[in-house]
């Protein structure tokens, strides 16, 4: 009897010890993460965001949803600490395609959205979710593809190029393929717009028209890698393309076209519609800050050192002069 109980205690203690071990890991993990290791950071290392737990409950968390291209290029990493310091908030940045970002906004899960899909934005505002829209940066799309260019699109307009790709893909999908984001992102919306301008009905003529048209549902980077593997064509924003330049063999084939303009907008979530949105003053400060000279100058130079050109173009000083560019008041008049 006695030995049985001793054995029992010994055996039960093992799971308990393991539990304690796990618990210990949690606690030390928390403690270590909660104290920011600032001291021994070399100067070139990005500053570490301190707390992982809401220990600093005193500082409000301001949440934004941003489009992937701005995030993937590292621009937000650079801007984030600046705004946190300026507005004394913790800036929580969630990245997603424009469609998902707007959905977060509609559900009240973020306080502001940064997106690039004019039509979807107009709808978002018309439905009462978005207010105080301003533009703050732009760049361009391009069509990339295999250097051999089996569809023969080099130097054409975007619409003509899509036509050639469609015809080539329908004729022989083993030679001509097109990779689509297929995720309701801003880039996907732009792609649909170009198909429409080329004279096709997207849902009826293009989608599911054959094995040449590949819908991935993935972000821009993975799509570029896929296009590279399959030697396919795709529509890409120039920033992501530059970031992947050394990793893929697909080359830009069409770079000129009015449809290629890509404008990044920022909006606050309307507290009248989403009653849980309580950060409107911070959102307004954020919008005005993005239009400020401070940020516009950073946008003008961001990426030059690494890619030889800036990844995004600022709107300040009327840098965007193509048809379709935002009006002057859309990027100069502060919101209230």
Partner 1 sequence: MQELWEALVQAVSLIARLDGEVIEISLRSLYVSAAAILIAAVICVPIGGIIHFHDFKGKRVLINVIQTFYSIPTVVVGLFVFLFISRAGPLGGLELLFTPAAIVIGQVILILPVLTGMTIAALNGVDRAVKDTALSLGASGSQAIWTIIGEARFAVVGALILGFGRAISEVGAAMMLGGNIRGYTRVLTTAISLETQRGDLVLSLALGIILIGIAMVISVIVNILLQRY
Query: Which of 261, 311 has the CB closer to partner 1?
Result: 311
Question: Interface with partner 1 by CB under 8 A: which residues?
Answer: 1, 4-5, 7-8, 10-15, 17-19, 21-23, 25-26, 29-30, 32-33, 37, 41, 45-46, 48-54, 63, 68, 72, 74, 77, 80, 90, 92-95, 106-109, 219-222, 224-225, 243-244, 247, 274, 276
Residue 72 host element (H or E) = helix 68-72
CB 243 within 8 A of CB 73: yes
Query: Which of 142, 198 has the CB closer to partner 1?
Result: 142
Question: Least Å distance between CB 57 and partner 1?
Answer: 12
Q: How far apart are CA 64 and CA 111, in angstroms?
A: 6
Query: Which of 84, 149 has the CB closer to partner 1?
Result: 84
Question: Least Å distance between CB 331 and partner 1?
Answer: 27
- Positive or negative CA dihedral for 268, 272, 278, 281? positive
3-state secondary structure of 114: strand
Question: Least Å distance between CB 275 and partner 1?
Answer: 10
Question: Least Å distance between CB 66 and partner 1?
Answer: 11
Q: How far apart are CA 221 and CA 236, in angstroms?
A: 9
CB 114 within 8 A of CB 265: yes
Question: Least Å distance between CB 148 and partner 1?
Answer: 23
Question: Least Å distance between CB 259 and partner 1?
Answer: 25
Query: Which of 94, 197 has the CB closer to partner 1?
Result: 94
Query: Which of 226, 325 has the CB closer to partner 1?
Result: 226
Query: Which of 64, 320 has the CB closer to partner 1?
Result: 64
Question: Least Å distance between CB 276 and partner 1?
Answer: 5
Which residues have CB under 8 Å from 67's CB, separation 6+?
A: 95, 96, 97, 98, 101, 114, 115, 116, 185, 186, 264
CA distances from 214 to 73, 117, 128, 177 (A): 25, 22, 35, 7
Question: Least Å distance between CB 219 and partner 1?
Answer: 5
Which residues have CB under 8 Å from 235's CB, separation 6+?
A: 141, 142, 143, 180, 187, 190, 191, 194
Query: Which of 119, 306 has the CB closer to partner 1?
Result: 306
Q: Where are the beta strands (DSSP E) in the chain?
A: 61-66, 90-95, 112-115, 130-145, 178-180, 213-215, 233-237, 251-254, 261-269, 313-314
Query: Which of 70, 161 has the CB closer to partner 1?
Result: 70
Question: Least Å distance between CB 163 and partner 1?
Answer: 30
Q: How far apart are CA 98 and CA 220, in angstroms?
A: 12
Which residues have CB under 8 Å from 254's CB, separation 6+?
A: 142, 143, 153, 154, 155, 156, 157, 158, 161
Query: Which of 54, 210 has the CB closer to partner 1?
Result: 54
């Amino acid at each position: 009897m006695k030995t049985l109980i001793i054995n029992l205690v010994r055996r039960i203690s093992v799971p308990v010890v393991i539990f304690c071990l796990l618990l210990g890991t949690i606690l030390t993990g928390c403690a270590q993460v909660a104290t920011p290791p600032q001291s021994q950071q070399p100067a070139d290392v990005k500053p570490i965001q301190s707390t992982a737990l809401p220990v600093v409950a005193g500082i409000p968390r301001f949440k934004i949803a941003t489009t992937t291209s701005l995030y993937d290029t590292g621009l937000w990493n650079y801007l984030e600490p600046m705004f946190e310091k300026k507005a004394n908030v913790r800036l929580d940045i969630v990245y997603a395609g424009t469609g998902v970002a707007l959905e977060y906004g509609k559900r009240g899960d973020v306080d502001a959205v940064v997106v690039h899909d004019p039509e979807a934005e107009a709808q978002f505002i018309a439905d009462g979710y978005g207010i105080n829209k301003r533009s703050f940066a732009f760049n361009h799309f391009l069509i990339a593809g295999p250097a051999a260019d089996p569809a023969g699109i080099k130097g054409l307009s975007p619409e003509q190029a899509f036509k050639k790709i469609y015809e080539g893909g329908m004729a022989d999908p083993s030679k001509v393929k097109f990779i689509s984001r297929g995720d309701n992102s801003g880039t996907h919306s732009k792609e649909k717009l170009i198909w429409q301008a080329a004279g096709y009905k997207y849902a009826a003529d293009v989608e599911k028209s054959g094995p040449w048209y590949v819908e991935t549902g993935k972000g821009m980077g993975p799509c570029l890698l896929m296009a590279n593997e399959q030697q396919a064509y795709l529509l890409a924003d120039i920033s992501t393309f530059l970031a992947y330049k050394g990793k893929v063999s697909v080359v830009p084939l069409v770079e000129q076209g009015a449809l290629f303009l890509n404008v990044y907008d920022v909006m606050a979530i309307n507290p009248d519609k989403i009653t849980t949105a309580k950060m409107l003053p911070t959102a307004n400060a954020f919008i005005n800050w993005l239009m400020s000279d401070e940020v516009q100058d950073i946008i003008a130079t961001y990426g030059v050192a690494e890619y030889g050109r800036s990844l995004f173009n600022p709107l300040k000083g009327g840098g965007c002069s193509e048809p379709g560019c935002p009006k002057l008041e859309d990027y100069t008049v502060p919101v209230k």
